[in-house]
Amino acid sequence: MGVKRDFNRLVHYGPQTMAQPIESDPTIAPGPQGAPGGDTTHFGYRTVAEAEKAGMVREVFDAVAPKYDLMNDLMSAGIHRLWKGAMIDWLAPRAGQSIVDVAGGTGDIAFRMLERMGAAALPVTICDINAEMLNVGRNRAIDKGRLDGINWICGNAEALPFPDMSFDACTIAFGLRNVTHIDQAIAEAWRVLKPGGRWICLEFSKVLVPMLDKLYDAYSFRVLPWLGGVVAGDREAYRYLAESIRRFPDQKNLASRMEAAGFAQVKVRNLSGGIAAIHSGWRI
């Protein structure tokens, strides 16, 4: 389009930059949340040292970033758009609200919010650990002619680079299963929300429809890695995707972890028979 590519500034926070591995971040509390025990955690079906996971996740998204949006459409036959639409519908963002989309990647959720909120919207903040995903997102924004309205922040969901009580709403879509300590990321969402603020999480979940689970298993462990190999040139990254989905807490478990973090009025909506689910909770 002939547009200068580095128009928007990308802000790196703290040690979680591309140059310095996130695993050395002393602000991330160690802990067993979401982990099989001790100093180990899951990376898909593999057990890895906790300190290695963030770097491994970052490598996955470095590899898939250029084809991420295309792959989302291919993998889900466009259904991820409906799920994201359902998340935004439930959140119902209004102009004047301050919102952070954590693990916002290439900006899909933020673009949708801005469209919904109209011209009077405050900038939406995107915070993602992976600078490659943010770069792809910034280029998308420029191609859409959206030269302002989004703050692109490189930071970790487990140590959000924002003061307490900064936002009216905090969202995370398909990001929570990638963090090393799920409970730490939930606690951080609660911390940065203002009282009366809301957290909404869209994530793959547990399939609740008999037979659909079998079909879905076959699709995710056979078709997805093949598609990832052909389109994105990275079969392993898409095998990780399928495995990380199976490792993620089911609807009930995630809801109780939200309550344990202090969220009130926790509610869950299943999408496509539980393939994905939206969790909503309020900081009161």
Minimum distance from residue 158 beta carbon to ligand SAM (Å):
6
The one segment of 129-137, 142-150, 190-198, 265-273 that binds ligand SAM by CB under 6 A: 129-137
Minimum distance from residue 191 beta carbon to ligand SAM (Å):
15
Binding mask 240-259 for ligand SAM (x = CB under 6 A): --------------------
The one segment of 143-151, 152-160, 162-170, 270-278 that binds ligand SAM by CB under 6 A: 152-160
Identity of the residue, 196 or 204, whose beta carbon is nearer to ligand SAM in the bound complex: 204
Q: How far apart are CA 247 and CA 258, in angstroms?
A: 18
Verify binding: residue 133, ligand SAM, rule CB under 6 A.
yes
- Based on the number of CB atoms within 10 Å of its own CB, is 210 exposed (0-12), middle (13-18) or buried (19 or more)? exposed
CA of 207: how far to CAs of 33, 76, 147, in Å? 23, 15, 40
Verify binding: residue 113, ligand SAM, rule CB under 6 A.
no
The one segment of 38-46, 53-61, 139-147, 161-169 that binds ligand SAM by CB under 6 A: 53-61
Verify binding: residue 139, ligand SAM, rule CB under 6 A.
no
Verify binding: residue 158, ligand SAM, rule CB under 6 A.
yes
Q: Please enumerate in sequence order all residues whose Cβ is within 8 A of that of 51, keeping only pairs 6 or more positions apart, or say none.
A: 23, 39
Taking CB under 6 A as the criterion, the residue among 157, 170, 189, 276 binding ligand SAM is 157
Verify binding: residue 189, ligand SAM, rule CB under 6 A.
no
DSSP 62-88: HHHGGGHHHHHHHHHTTHHHHHHHHHH
Question: Of the candidates 156, 149, 162, 172, which has an alpha carbon nearest to the alpha carbon of residue 276?
Answer: 172
The one segment of 40-48, 139-147, 172-180, 273-281 that binds ligand SAM by CB under 6 A: 172-180
Q: Which of residues 88-107 bind ligand SAM (CB under 6 A)?
A: 103-105
Q: How far apart are CA 156 and CA 176, in angstroms?
A: 11
Verify binding: residue 178, ligand SAM, rule CB under 6 A.
yes
- Based on the number of CB atoms within 10 Å of its own CB, is 204 exposed (0-12), middle (13-18) or buried (19 or more)? buried
Closest residue to ligand SAM, based on beta-carbon distance? 105
Verify binding: residue 128, ligand SAM, rule CB under 6 A.
yes
Q: How far apart are CA 20 and CA 55, in angstroms?
A: 10
Half-sphere exposure of 180 (CA within 13 A, CB side): 29
Question: Of the candidates 154, 105, 173, which has an alpha carbon nearest to the alpha carbon of residue 133?
Answer: 105
Say how many residues touch ligand SAM, by CB under 6 A.
20
Q: How far apart are CA 167 and CA 193, in angstroms?
A: 5
Identity of the residue, 160 or 195, whose beta carbon is nearer to ligand SAM in the bound complex: 160
Residue 214, token pair as written in the block: 């079998």
Q: Provide the β-strand partners of residue 124.
A: 150
Verify binding: residue 108, ligand SAM, rule CB under 6 A.
yes
Identity of the residue, 175 or 228, whose beta carbon is nearer to ligand SAM in the bound complex: 175
Taking CB under 6 A as the criterion, the residue among 87, 121, 129, 169 binding ligand SAM is 129
Q: What is the DSSP letter of 37?
A: B
Q: Which residues bind ligand SAM (CB under 6 A)?
A: 54, 57, 61, 103-105, 108-109, 128-130, 133, 156-158, 173-175, 178-179
